[in-house]
Amino acid sequence: MAITDQQWLDHTNQNNQEFSNRQILLKGSGAPSNTNDPAPFGSFYKDNNNGDRYEQIEIDPNSNGYNWQLFETGGGSGDGSKIVEDRDCDSGLATGDLVHESKTVYRGVDKVINNTDVRLIVGIVISKPSATVAKIMFMGAYDGITGFNTGAKVYCSGTGTLTYSLPTIGYVQILGNTSDGEHMDFNPAMSQIMRA
């Protein structure tokens, strides 16, 4: 029996939705254990102490044996799965600043001044090894926020800072989501829309 491309696509989308509905996210303090934190295969656990994330993996398919395995570190003791790179920059750039790719410096970055620049926001400064070199995080767990709502989308404000309020003017680019009021998963969308 032949199926149409649309039927195949509909079935694929349904399977993907069912899989995402089965994923479970647990949170706790410290590493998880099967005794204290039982969960089915494919579940995830986040350690609130350092942001480490664990995945429940299948040990033996014949015995239904599962165990927690470290999936990614949250940055409490290192960069973990963050994508970080040193880039040339202006001496006025500071930790916490959002950045664009530079218009003038090869492999450099420019500070985001507001949300009216057509360039996409690509990263955030996490440290300054020197006056003209910045360590830029392009994706990963970021701890430099306070007072944000849990689970909120994060944008660039009209003044070039992180905000969870949807901008009413300028370009709107989703920069990530908050995991709680003081931490976010920084993962800038590679598209933006212009608001009048």
Q: Compute the distance between CA of residue 87 and CA of residue 137 in angstroms, rounded to an integer.
A: 10
SS3 (DSSP) at 18: helix
Helices (H), the chain: 5-22
pLDDT of res. 189: 81
Is 17 a residue whose pLDDT tops 80? Answer: no
Give 108-147 pLDDT, tens digit per residue.
999 999 999 999 999 999 999 999 999 999 888 898 888 8
Residues 42-50, mean pLDDT to the nearest whole number: 73
Q: Compute the distance between CA of residue 40 and CA of residue 47 in angstroms, rounded to an integer.
A: 18
Token pair 């995402």 is found at 20
Give 48-98 pLDDT, tens digit per residue.
777 777 776 655 555 556 666 665 555 443 444 678 889 999 999 999 999
Percent of the chain at pLDDT > 90 equals 35
Q: Would you mind telling me the total number of residues written for the chain in this entry?
A: 196
pTM value surpassing 0.75? no
Q: Compute the distance between CA of residue 129 and CA of residue 69 in angstroms, rounded to an integer.
A: 33
